[in-house]
Amino acid sequence: MAKRPSPRVLASLFDAASHHGPAVPKELLLAWSASTREEDVAHALLAEYKTLGTCILGDASGLSKLSQTLPLVEVLSLLHRPKTMIASLGEKYGGVPVSSWTADNSGMWFDAAVHPKEVYTYAQNLLASFEHFPFQMSFAFHAGEFYRVGNALVGPMFHALEEVAENQVPAGCLWATEATIPFLGTQGSPMDSSTLSMRQLPVAGTPEMTFAEAHAPYPHAFSSAFFSMLDVYARSKDVEKDALRSSMEADVRREGHILFFAYALPKQQSLAGVLNAQELDTYLVSSVRMAKRSVGARLIKVGGGIGIVMAATLEGALAEAETLGVVFAEAEVAVAMGIDRGEFFLFEQEDGDVDVAGSPVNIASKLSEDCGKPGIVYVSEAAGSVMARTTRPIHVSGITIVAQEHALARV
């Protein structure tokens, strides 16, 4: 079991976490840390954030293959289209974007004034609009009780729905929880899910909005300037795109190694579990940020169970992996890592945050999140050669990655 920071230690770490803080307020986490940590305490602390409504989460399939053959700006442009339509049509139905729309994920929230059947219609019409896209979208939704903190949703139901949407709904399909079915006027088909009782719904929607009509912004990790240019690019004619792409790439293109690490947080199957996970994540985020960086390495982000470091060399990336291995070992938290090399985009945001996008990020995430092992760093062939015991092909998300297993020395 992971070590828990004391209330005093936790309080001292919020400044180090800076604006990369937890989803729940500092005062709430400190109260939780000083409490008996029982479920009724968690309910009391989160009571003011309880709300009723419908949350729908989306995911895309097929982007890994596309990212191997298309320029990154083009891939981001292809994703920009459905995300803009999800936000714009959702706004028309009375919804607002929630949580993080990183990579190919999306999320909309509809309060209790919007009937779940309307959300079902919205989702069907979205899927009908995406029929000719070069990749497929899928959605999962639930109508009921959630906990909304600012722009974020938290709580056992949200985290379970997130797991279903990202990892279980087949491409092009629409699932709803069993509890939502009575509102929808259809029974659907029961699906095999170890996370929630889910049903797959019939999809017979009609395209309701084109990309040309969609203009609502959505949560993103780009700079505002890049986001504006991306929207222009997505709406431009093919003959105009080469010049635009060169201009967009000029300030953000980088080349180097990406170290992606995925770490285990407590299961969030209860409100106590949610607060335990938030508390531990605050501690880990601060510990990672305060760790000494190797020469040429830069921590891009950490939080919510994942983190990214960019490094100039493979040696630098491996040195970072060793440092991180010690940090997580001391906290008694399992961590898996992957390294890839290539061109990627670096986004410097106005609030001081940074983020990256590109094939090396995608590959390194697959090596850590999808098939990683605690104490092992998977190093792709593109990243370089290490003194590896094992080299093997890894098949994930429709692509094959040849990677070497590198055991951490100090874990």
Q: Which of 213, 244, 272 is the last residue of a domain?
A: 213
Residue 272 parent element (H or E): helix 271-290
Could you tell me the pLDDT band of residue 120, with boundaries at 50, 70 and 90? very high
**197 and 275 share a domain?**
no
**114 and 207 share a domain?**
yes
> Which residues face 261 on adjacent strands?
307, 337
**Residue 7 falls inside a structural domain:** no
SS3 sequence of 4-18: CCCHHHHHHHHHHHC
Q: Which of 213, 240, 265 is the last residue of a domain?
A: 213
pLDDT at 388: 55
Q: pTM score, two decimals?
A: 0.90
CB atoms within 10 A of CB 281: 23
pLDDT digits (tens, 9 = 90+) for 11-24: 544 444 444 445 78
**326 and 393 share a domain?**
yes
pLDDT digits (tens, 9 = 90+) for 259-309: 999 999 988 999 999 999 999 999 999 999 999 998 899 999 999 999 999
Range of the domain at 380: 253-407
**402 and 271 share a domain?**
yes
Q: Which of 213, 236, 265 is the last residue of a domain?
A: 213
**193 and 258 share a domain?**
no
Could you tell me the pLDDT band of residue 132, with boundaries at 50, 70 and 90? confident
**191 and 60 share a domain?**
yes
- Show the tokens assigned to 225: 């300037």
Mean pLDDT for all residues in the chain? 90
**61 and 191 share a domain?**
yes
**279 and 338 share a domain?**
yes
**119 and 207 share a domain?**
yes
**Residue 371 falls inside a structural domain:** yes
**Residue 248 falls inside a structural domain:** no
Collect all residues with Cβ–Cβ distance below 8 Å to 227 and sequence separation of at least 6.
217, 220
**Residue 81 falls inside a structural domain:** yes
**60 and 152 share a domain?**
yes
Cα 377 from Cα 408, distance rounded (Å) = 7
Domain count, the chain: 2
**59 and 200 share a domain?**
yes
Could you tell me the pLDDT band of residue 196, with boundaries at 50, 70 and 90? very high
Cα 141 from Cα 173, distance rounded (Å) = 12
Q: What percent of the chain is modeled with pLDDT above 90?
A: 73
CATH number, position 274: 3.30.70.1230
**Residue 148 falls inside a structural domain:** yes
Could you tell me the pLDDT band of residue 395, with boundaries at 50, 70 and 90? low
**264 and 201 share a domain?**
no
Q: What percent of the chain is modeled with pLDDT above 70?
A: 91
pLDDT digits (tens, 9 = 90+) for 219-248: 999 999 999 999 999 999 999 999 999 999
DSSP string, 62-88: SHHHHHHHS-HHHHHHHHHHHHHHHHH
**Residue 265 falls inside a structural domain:** yes
Residue 25 parent element (H or E): none
Question: pLDDT higher for 100 or 314?
Answer: 314
Cα 240 from Cα 38, distance rounded (Å) = 60
**Residue 298 falls inside a structural domain:** yes
**Residue 232 falls inside a structural domain:** no
CB atoms within 10 A of CB 243: 10
Question: pLDDT higher for 131 or 160?
Answer: 160
Cα 57 from Cα 95, distance rounded (Å) = 12
